[in-house]
Structure 1
Amino acid sequence: MGFNIFKNTVLLFVFIMISCASKAKSKIDLKNKVNLTIQNDSSVVVGANQIKAYLPILKGKRVGIVANQTSAIFRKEKLQTILVDPETNEQSLGHAVKKDTMTHLVDSLISLKVAVKKVFSPEHGFRGRVDAGELVKDGIDTKTNLPIVSLYGKNKKPTKEQLEGLDIVIFDIQDVGVRFYTYISTLHYIMEACSEQGIPVLILDRPNPNGHYIDGPTLEIKNKSFLGMHPIPLVHGMTIGEYAQMINGEKWLKNGIQCELTIIPVKNYTHNTFYSLPIRPSPNLPNDQAIKLYPSLGLFEGTNINAGRGTEFQFQRYGAPFLDKKTLAFSYTPITNFGAKYPKHKNNLCYGEDLQNEDLNGVMTLKWIIKAYQNSTDKSLFFNTKNFTKHAGTDKLQKQIEAGLSEAEIKITWQNRLEAFKNTRSKYLMYD
């Protein structure tokens, strides 16, 4: 009995310490706490959570899954606290508290006796820890012993052999709605390969955190690459499910073939619904602010400017050693860290701007890249022309910036193609 009382007292102490730590953290990180609460308290239900809707589709089938760390099923579990009276040593139940938990889709399906045979891994890897642009290797998942097939290594499109023996492929990856974010290119190749082999694709849809607007230059097909495969704006305003329907409908797959699609839509979601991602979608998008600024600062990936990689504020700052420190006085030094083994200007002092508190919503802006170019002490160092064109989707943008055009003047040149895209997009929308 004495041991049980001691054990319960220790448990109570641990619970109090965790509660105190949690309160302290909420004070330090109030903004993120509020965002998380909004998402958790909302009625949005992602496709993966709707197990009853898709489990019958998987029954008796050999399943492949395109997944990464964001392929999660979210739950709320009740935790009951145990209180011990210090005078009488009597135990009583305290208030039940709800704790947010998540399980990986692969683990959940295996526990439900679904015959998962293979995992396909996109850029950044199955567990989401690989640097941007770094090759992902084939392997074995140590938790499930499932074979992992890389779609960001020797081939980006699954081969006939890699799909052999599968009856259906699930695609469940959190996207951020930006053309050069490569998960939509992986989606294209999955749909194409599966349609060629007569394998249906099941998409578990998720919200697009940048889904409330459309902006940026539209890709010209001559500049097609894995950073952009289709004639869409830089910010496309669609979920993965909607985008898959557009790929099919516009016959963008090889030879105009179409993929057999089943989409489990997000419940209680519109394109104007705020959604704070509970899991970072890739190593260098750590929070809501980075995701919001990514369409604008992502263009720096095609320059010699560091966009916060090698710091804890990825896509929330920019800088380089050759920017004018009188005008851009903020400074930082990129170092090797999680998600960036070799950041631009590693171990060198960079001058630029801190954008952690920048309020930007519903628009992508060129003001920072124009400002950085204008304040470059050696403009020949600024652009990596080939890579910048891939990110922009057009060779015109670099020329416009070099010619000194203002943001307003450049954006005017985008409007006709943006309007044409909006008309096309409207045919495939699943949400208001």
Structure 2
Amino acid sequence: MKNLFQFILLSVIASSILLTQTKPGIEVLAESNFKILQGKRVGLITNPTGITSDYISTVDIFAKAKGVNLVALFGPEHGVRGDVTAGGKVDNFTDSTTGLPVYSLYGKTRKATPEMLRGIDVLVYDIQDIGSRSYTFINTMALAMEAAAENNVEFIVLDRPNPLNGNRVEGNILDLKFKSFVGQYPIPYVYGMTCGELAELLNNEGWLDGGKKCKLNVIKMENWKRWMHWDNTTLPWVLTSPHVPNSQTALFYSAIGMLGELETVNIGVGYTMPFQLVGQEWINGAQLADVLNAKKLPGVVFRPLSFKPYYGKQQGKQLSGVQIHIIDNAKINLTNIQLHVIETLIKLYPEKNPFSIADSDRNAMFDKVAGTDDVRKKLTDGVTASTIITSWKNSIDEFMKVRKKYLLYE
């Protein structure tokens, strides 16, 4: 009986530890009574993902906080209010709730100008990212850090979880010849860091333009561990962009997002499962599923299905293809999936090579997101996905040595 009681007690303790809610940087800052912001004029870079665990916007918290003088807002891709589609330009405007000026960092200007920063002592960054190099928020952060360094403005990152977890590092290192706003720095496609950790790396490794270094302060989370996936944090998820409505979509984005840049097959965007599908009129779903499943890729199963997108290039067309089912988060390599899918499509349908039938500008966009043209060229030449993936190992090993210096969490 005593042993049973001890077992139950330990189980309860273990469960409570597992369910302890992660405390994001904004809540840690609030508990300090915003000490580091007192008496300073504050500019806030945020969007709808900048919330507390009880759904209160960082904008509203700062606007009402005693001693915090919020003077301007800055909006990334999709805008401060999250009402702009992917790639859509964001304009400057006046926020109707606070009456503050809102400056766009995803329009004519992607880097805050001296005029925008005039009268600001500190820039605060509070945006939930999804852990993929091609997602533009980290590049907005980096350019804001450069602007802060150039204009003698402090920079604070309110840290948030990496929804892919903090240990997952996948893909190739970006070749700087393909530097763009969907990839600016020599990091892997999935880089295994929080935005605060990445900010420390960029700042201290001299990777900002001209080796600039800003006065950086990262407000760390509490109760977050590297092994955690989003569900383990028990935090609410707010869609980070229109096609990333839940935390699971963040995983699928890294698994198939590159392929979607070609616009030659549908990846579920325009249907109810963005980034979870691979389909086209000329695909035999059962055949594609059989060949992909025969590869025995860890942690994933492909199921044949038919679907009809509601909007986009394939609107109203009956498509056949596969649904990607993640069955083991710990074993799956997300980034590798799209290489195996493309390799298989070329093998099964050589006359429909996704690269050959794509417009040239879409191939160029694929290369930017991939951070190289090597993937496209080698897959087209018949090099296997496994061979390409193996070739990344040495450069990833070197990145891991650099990354290790800036990890803030166990």
TM-score range, shorter chain: 0.7 to 0.9
Please, which moves more after superposition, 365-374 or 256-265?
365-374
Amino acid at match of 2:272: E
1:52 paired residue number: 31
Q: Give the direction of change, closer, same or farther, for the CA distance of 1:353–1:326 in structure 2 (3 Å limit).
A: closer
TM-score, normalization: structure 2?
0.84
Q: Give the direction of change, closer, same or farther, for the CA distance of 1:124–1:303 in structure 2 (3 Å limit).
A: same
What is the CA–CA distance in structure 2 between the aligned matches of 1:54 and 1:198, rounded to whole Å? 24
Please tell me whether residue 275 in structure 1 is matched to residue 230 in structure 2: yes
- Map 1:117-266 → 2, pairs under 5 A: 117-210=71-164, 211-266=166-221
What is the CA–CA distance in structure 2 between the aligned matches of 1:302 and 1:158, rounded to whole Å? 28
Q: Give the direction of change, closer, same or farther, for the CA distance of 1:326–1:431 in structure 2 (3 Å limit).
A: closer
What is the CA–CA distance in structure 1 between the aligned matches of 2:17 and 2:287, rounded to whole Å? 39
* Cα-Cα RMSD: 2.1
2:396 to 396, 418, 424: 418
> 1:241-298: per-residue Cα shift (whole Å, max 9, x none)?
0000111111111221101011110112121122235212221112232111211211
> 1:373-423: per-residue Cα shift (whole Å, max 9, x none)?
434452221573201100100111012211223332111111011000000
1:110 to 63, 67, 79: 63
2:305 paired residue number: 330
Equivalences, count = 364
2:321 paired residue number: 352
2:251 paired residue number: 292
SS at match of 1:389: helix
Quote the offset at 1:322 in angstroms: 3.8
> 1:162-183: per-residue Cα shift (whole Å, max 9, x none)?
1111111100001111100111
Amino acid at match of 2:271: T
1:407 to 371, 385, 396: 385
Larger Rg computed on CA atoms: 1
Quote the offset at 1:54 in angstroms: 6.3
Alpha carbons 1:301, 1:391 under 8 Å: kept: no
TM-score, normalization: structure 1?
0.80
Q: Percent identity?
A: 35
Q: Give the direction of change, closer, same or farther, for the CA distance of 1:309–1:54 in structure 2 (3 Å limit).
A: farther
Alpha carbons 2:346, 2:352 under 8 Å: kept: no
1:71 paired residue number: 50
Amino acid at match of 1:284: H
Amino acid at match of 2:59: V
Q: Give the direction of change, closer, same or farther, for the CA distance of 1:165–1:195 in structure 2 (3 Å limit).
A: same
Quote the offset at 1:126 in angstroms: 1.1
- Map 1:361-372 → 2, pairs under 5 A: 361=330, 362-364=332-334, 365=336, 366-372=339-345
What is the CA–CA distance in structure 2 between the aligned matches of 1:358 and 1:291, rounded to whole Å? 15
Q: Which runs of 5+ in 1 are unaligned?
A: 1-36, 75-100, 337-342
1:316 to 270, 276, 281: 276
Q: Give the direction of change, closer, same or farther, for the CA distance of 1:265–1:54 in structure 2 (3 Å limit).
A: farther
Amino acid at match of 2:187: I
